A and B are shown apart, each in its own frame.
Chain A
Amino acid sequence: MPVPHYRQQLLPGFRLALGCALVYLSLIVVLPLTGLAIKASQLSLAEFWQTASGERALASYRVTFGASLLAATINCFFGLIVAWILVRYSFPGKRLIDALVDLPFALPTAVAGITLATLYAENGWIGRYLEPLGLKVAFTPLGIVVALTFVSLPFVVRTLQPVLEDIEPEVEEAAASLGASRFQTFVRVLLPTILPALLTGFTLALSRSVGEYGSVIFIAGNMPLISEITPLLIISKLEQYDVVGATALATVMLAISFVLLLAVNALQWWTAHRDGRDGAGTGQP
């Protein structure tokens, strides 16, 4: 029997648990971030603007976002294929490959960075085949795309997999029985169903890529204005004891993080809301 939500008083430990969680979050996450906001607010607008919109900063945003968007797009395309074959087809070694998809979550970014840099260097395993084609990857912006594609690879696959698993075969069979071709079924039935998950995966990948540091710096070449990402610019400001500049850039980065986090939340709310309404339609007598 569906019962209206209980306000639970029987179970113990609410105050203790909430108290612990809030104290931990406040001390470790919220107050430090507020500290950054306070520091940023002490800067004059001119100071802030000078750094945040300086030539080098603008170039770094371009590089960071350009590479991140490209990496997220690549991952959307291939991530959809990988999720699809992992859910729909059977082939030898599937479980191993499924487990391998999480490697970027588990492999420290520094390791990924030096490995990719070595692989794509002129004499590296992969670089030596690209070199004759005139394709330079390591120490160019292209290298950044490769590193970001690696670190954000699992997001699209892992958000799509459960959604693909949940699609009932009947839906596709119904489309087929109504005369839709396989391609039409995919575009008109499947794609709309997985679109929110695909967008969520894209945004998560983007969010991760924009902030990424460890894997990029080894392969990027780090040439100001060309292949310098914003997190690296923050570090180099710090190394020059330019705390003001670093703070301004970090504030911009933090604001972008918030926007992307909100976007992910909105997408998830949208998905849940959509599914919830569908479910309510069949669930209520």
Chain B
Amino acid sequence: MSIEIRAISKRFGSFVALHDVTLDIPSGELVALLGPSGCGKTTLLRIIAGMESPDSGHILFAGEEATHVHARERKVGFVFQHYALFRHMSVFENVAFGLRVKPRKLRPAEAEIRRRVSELLKLVQLDWLAERYPSQLSGGQRQRIALARALAVEPRVLLLDEPFGALDTRVRKELRRWLRRLHDEMHISSVFVTHDQEEALEVADRVVVMNQGRVEQIGSPDDVYSHPASPFVYQFLGNVNVFHSRVHGAWADIGREQAQDLPADEATAFVRPHDIEIEHRPAPGGLAATVQQVHTVGPLVRVELAYASELIEVELTRERARSLALREGQQVWFRPRELRVFAVPQSGLEEGGSGI
């Protein structure tokens, strides 16, 4: 089922949680709401679920007005960040809850409930835990039970709030892949909230990058990473070197075509560390710098170059680093393969050199 979000705004006191957010979630897609803490992503998810009501704007489910439909009637499966499993019920009863509270006329027979629950427990690969209590489960198991519980009522939409946030790295990676596979099998429209860019890029069909209550960019994972629409997205997704035109005149020269329409002192170039080429000889458009440090980090080699008063971060493949044979203190020339120039007011960026 598709979800349309139309000009939603929400404040909490003087804090603007969402400002005029418009978003389409096509049927069957797995969408990530990505952004830093306090950007409004969880509030948006709760509004979609009907746990919060917007100050203005509309929500449409499959084209139908749903803004004021109670959470109970939305047929939304919600997986809470801390799972919110019913602590006094067994795993089985947790999953069966949604079926047991249906009005008598719609409630499946006991045998049918048992069948459905054990089917779901098999789906999340935890049927052997049916009689356990939530406190006896690991974090990853709780997460999957919370998912099974949400799926039991056959929701039209699945909403997950920081689904992997409380898990350790290894379990998180497993669960991520597993959620992706599950989604591919069930094809239920799903939205999940995360502050982890890697998670969003790896799992989602589409990524919605949010910041300070606004949508910064919507696109495929490749889109948002390779073609960020704003400085924020550039800095939030991966490492980036930031060059301000006034400080780094030469860089603005390189990006001149892009910077033409921008005020001269606001043009700022963004370059990913792996989009920088290092050479031993001067090349057209290349700038001279000194090698400061060379670190091998897993499959990559990270080079810090000193250029004027700034540090520039470059990432090379091991092969490339080997063929360059960089030494600390050596003079080299570097040039960007790919960069974007945005107009950023002087006060907008605090760091001048290599960004986060």
Residues of A within 8 A of B (CB): 1-7, 9-10
Apart from A1-B37, A4-B38, A7-B12, 11 more pairs, CB < 8 Å:
A1-B162, A1-B165, A2-B38, A3-B38, A3-B43, A4-B17, A6-B46, A9-B53, A10-B50, A10-B51, A10-B71
Minimum distance in angstroms from A3 CB to a CB of chain B: 6
B50 in contact with A6 (CB, 8 Å)? no
* Bound complex: CA A5 to CA B14 (Å): 12
B13 in contact with A6 (CB, 8 Å)? no
* Bound complex: CA A10 to CA B46 (Å): 10
- Residues B136-166 near A (CB distance < 8 A): 162, 165
Minimum distance in angstroms from B42 CB to a CB of chain A: 6
Q: Is the interface of B mostly helix, strand, loop or mixed?
A: loop
* Bound complex: CA A3 to CA B52 (Å): 13
A2 in contact with B52 (CB, 8 Å)? no
Residues of B within 8 A of A (CB): 12-13, 15, 17, 37-38, 42-43, 46, 50-53, 71, 81, 162, 165, 195
When A and B form their complex, which 7 residue pairs have the shortest distance between CB atoms, in order from nearest?
A4-B12, A10-B51, A1-B37, A4-B15, A3-B42, A10-B71, A9-B53
- From A2, A3, A6, A7, residue with most partner B Cβ within 10 Å: A3
Q: Is the interface of A mostly helix, strand, loop or mixed?
A: loop
Minimum distance in angstroms from A259 CB to a CB of chain B: 34
Known: A6-B12, A7-B12. A1 touches B81 (CB 8 A): yes
Q: Name the residue on A nearest B70 (C-beta).
A: A10
Q: Name the residue on B nearest A1 (C-beta).
A: B37
Minimum distance in angstroms from A40 CB to a CB of chain B: 41
26 contacts between A and B (CB under 8 A): A1-B37, A1-B38, A1-B42, A1-B81, A1-B162, A1-B165, A1-B195, A2-B38, A3-B38, A3-B42, A3-B43, A4-B12, A4-B13, A4-B15, A4-B17, A4-B38, A5-B12, A6-B12, A6-B46, A6-B52, A9-B52, A9-B53, A10-B50, A10-B51, A10-B52, A10-B71
Chain B residues positioned under 8 Å from A10 (CB to CB)? 50-52, 71
Chain A residues positioned under 8 Å from B71 (CB to CB)? 10
Chain A residues positioned under 8 Å from B53 (CB to CB)? 9
* Bound complex: CA A98 to CA B350 (Å): 58
Minimum distance in angstroms from A61 CB to a CB of chain B: 47
* Bound complex: CA A5 to CA B50 (Å): 17
Minimum distance in angstroms from B9 CB to a CB of chain A: 15
* Bound complex: CA A248 to CA B174 (Å): 74
* Bound complex: CA A21 to CA B151 (Å): 38
